[in-house]
Amino acid sequence: MKITRTWNRDNIAQIETLFHTANGYLGVRNAPEEGHVPGSIRGAYINAFHEIVDIHHGEKLFGFPETKQTIANVPDAQTIRLTLNGKSYAMLSDETADREQTVDTETGLAVRSSVWMHPDGAVRVIFTRMASFEIPNLFLLRLRVESVDYDGTIAIESTLNGDVTNYANADDPRVAAEPLRCLTLVSSSIEEDEAMVVCRTLRSGLTVACRAMQGCSLPGGWEGEGALFAGHYEGRLRPGECVKLNKLVVYTDSLRCGDPAEEARRVMREVRTLGGNELIRRQKKFLAAWQERAIPQLCAPEPLPQALTYDLYQLLQSTGYDGVSSVAAKGLSGEGYEGHVFWDSEVYVFPFFLWTQPEKARGMLTYRWRLLPAARENARTLGMAKGALFPWRTISGGECSAFFPAGTAQYHIDADIAYAFLQYWYVTGDLAFMAEMGAEVLVETARMWLELGHMQDGEFRIDCVTGPDEYTCCVNNNFYTNAAAQYNLRGAAEVLRTLREAGLEQTVLGATGVTGEEEEAFLTAAQAMRLPRDERLGISPQDDSFLQKKPLDWKALPKTDFPLLLHYHPLFLYRHQICKQADTVLAHLLFPDTADIGTQKKSYDYYDAVTTHDSSLSVCVFATQAARLGDLARAREGFEATATLDLLDSHGNTKDGLHTASLGGAYLAMLRGFAGIRAEADGLSVDPVLPEGWEGYSLPFAFRGRSLRLTVSAGETRLELTAGEPLEVRMGQNSVLLIKAE
């Protein structure tokens, strides 16, 4: 499947995001190869590779974080300048035509092409990029110059530059406010047709090596010194002839290896042995296997099928699963939110990998487990004697949120992470992993809730918290937080009991010292959890005070006032009955046992009327829940908005990076909403629906070592076991036994 766009002067940064090249480890924005042009946000990033910067508080109180981590722009190897008869190529000049950009999800290649109407004759200029999924350190870049009727000199300059800075925008809190120089040069060298720069971050002390090899059909080679090297190639180009430049770039870092420079040499030897053509062939083979096991086939009006495939391909590009990294709010496509990992990764992105590639989901959970020591320290900072509190936004474990009301106060991050661990167990049955890592996380997060909450009048209350809705902060008994905490507490006790019965409890006992009394306390708090219901309205209140606040007629506000957080003081928003995003509706979706179906329906309608959807995490939740409630028209409309959010740039900030939560939300709507696929401790259930206007869909997924496929059309619903042992599944109200066809 190919996505195509036409470049112009107004969409440069947007196309740099949409057509960036990444593989979960490395991401390179699709900036014009000829160098910086106005509007461009040039950058290359390694997942979790970061710098430490100071946080400046106007008034600093105890426990406020003093520093934060921010993703570092790493050495730039994408610059290639083309000159014909002394005149430089510029894609956006008036002399170029047919300016087309494509990405092919079946080959993993991003291709930029144009026709340069040079005064001395026309040439076609084609740039091809690839980030290898099989060898994640590798970025491949090719230039092909085809003469139509040009006859004259040609010169190519291809550079490697370690002197880079991060992007900044002082007017947008979602982006760093000041330009940041993260790297200093450690060493550099030229070895025949390879050049390398080794740089170190100034404060975090991380090292990155970037080694580039290039071959050209013209004579030339590398030259330069310090942080900047350039390969120069010159010759003559005649009508009908073609000049090619092939560039292999390897990135390595000290988070993952002891000697990045030596590792870069080793990987470069490997990729040179394989060669560019073989690497491209392997990329295509990898993606063919991936699409077979991961991509739903959607028979619906365009651009939905195309948009869904694009979204899921971007999730593959964005997500790390090596245990060192996970997925940031913008993936590896830009510097929005400074490369921080939020709850988006567990609630919105994790399900795609869990149900299609559980081994990668396990890697995402390993990342969180490795951050437990920092989470324990964070809990102590916030006055908790026991337990662990994962930071609201982080890269390496420290809290990066300078605004605690809409950041650190979102304690639900603990339950979101616990939810992912429990879902992993329910879907995979991997008790060994729960014994090794999962149970420890569940115990420490459950302990946090006992520290944070308290019993009053027979109810377990959790006060002064912020739920998912960031326009309603520091409230008592946020419904989502309490529901998620209840799930966390019960799940911790359930896992401990299961490990004990299997004789596998020693690791978690050694790591946490959890006692039987604590296990009972988890269950007592869960049973007594306050989950209020407003009898007058028949809904689940978002928190204890939400329904008493003054309503805000937000639909009467000018469209230019959205998102509201950029135009209204937080205190103005906090005192009104207005939601930025799904909150109670998300609780009903993930934890449906917290309210009966009538309450869920009335709650949906109530919150739909007061939610602006200023967050990209919101519409997908409303769409998914609408499908579960049988409102398929609203479900289809919300799914369409979710699936096309970045391709249509409907939030107006795709230039800063993709909205990975919304990308994952498109899959969540297919999986949990339309297909009705759900896993809990008692097994797998499937309850599909088909929106009007769709011919059908086919969705592959994995469950407990088996491969399955759900196919839904207007005349048929079929669930097949395509690999693995027989499986009992709940289909709607019935139980069926699936057996693989011979």
DSSP secondary structure, 539-595, as one string:
B--SSSSGGGSEE--GGGS-GGG-SGGGTS-HHHHHTEE-BSS-SHHHHHHH-GGGS
Q: Are 307 and 643 in contact (CB under 8 A)?
A: yes
Which residues is 104 bridged to in the sheet?
Answer: 2, 109
List C-alpha distances in Å: 216 to 88, 123, 186, 196, 270: 18, 18, 29, 18, 20
Mean pLDDT on 596-607: 98
627-632 long-range CB contacts below 8 Å, 24 or more apart? 627/669, 627/673, 627/674, 627/676, 627/689, 627/691, 628/589, 628/592, 628/672, 628/673, 628/676, 629/597, 629/600, 629/601, 629/604, 630/689, 631/604, 632/689, 632/690, 632/691, 632/692
List phi, psi (to 5°) of 383.
85, 20
Q: How many CB atoms sit inside 10 A of residue 325's CB? A: 25
Per-residue pLDDT, 176: 58
Give the model confidence (pLDDT) of 537-546 as tens digits: 999 999 999 9
Q: pLDDT per residue over 357-398, tens digit each?
A: 999 999 999 999 999 999 999 999 999 999 999 999 999 999
Does residue 137 contact residue 25 with C-beta atoms inside 8 Å?
yes
Question: What's the confidence (pLDDT) of residue 36?
Answer: 82
> How far apart are the C-alpha atoms of 77 and 161, rounded to whole Å?
6
Please say if the pLDDT value at position 239 is more than 90: yes
pLDDT of 173 > 90? The answer is no
Q: Which of 524, 542, 523 is nearest to 532 (CA)?
A: 542
Average pLDDT over residues 600-622: 98
Average pLDDT over residues 161-186: 79
On the question of pLDDT at 172 being above 70, the answer is: no
Distance CA 252, CA 674 (A): 41
Question: pLDDT band at residue 180, thresholds of 50, 70 and 90?
Answer: confident
What's domain 2-290's superfamily in CATH?
Glycoside hydrolase, family 65, N-terminal domain (2.70.98.40)
pTM for the structure as a whole: 0.97
The chain-wide mean pLDDT, for the chain, equals 96
**C-beta of residue 484 within 8 angstroms of C-beta of residue 416:** yes
Band (pLDDT 50/70/90 cuts) for residue 210 is: very high
What is the pLDDT, as a whole number, of residue 522? 98
State the pLDDT at residue 58: 86
Question: Would the pLDDT of 170 be above 80?
Answer: no
* Cis amide linkage into residue 303, ω under 30° from 0: yes
Active site (catalytic) residues: 470
The per-residue pLDDT for range 103-151, each reduced to its tens digit, is 999 999 999 999 999 999 999 999 999 999 999 999 999 999 999 999 9
Q: What is the pLDDT at residue 178?
A: 64
Express each pLDDT in 698-725 by its tens digit.
Answer: 999 999 999 999 999 998 999 999 999 9
Provide the residue ranges of all domains of the chain, joining segments of one domain with +: 2-290
For residue range 301-337, what is the model confidence (pLDDT) as tens digits?
Answer: 999 999 999 999 999 999 999 999 999 999 999 999 9
Q: Residues 582-597: what's their mean pLDDT?
A: 98
Sequence-ordered list of residues with C-beta below 8 angstroms from that of 203, at least 6 positions apart, any chain: 51, 52, 53
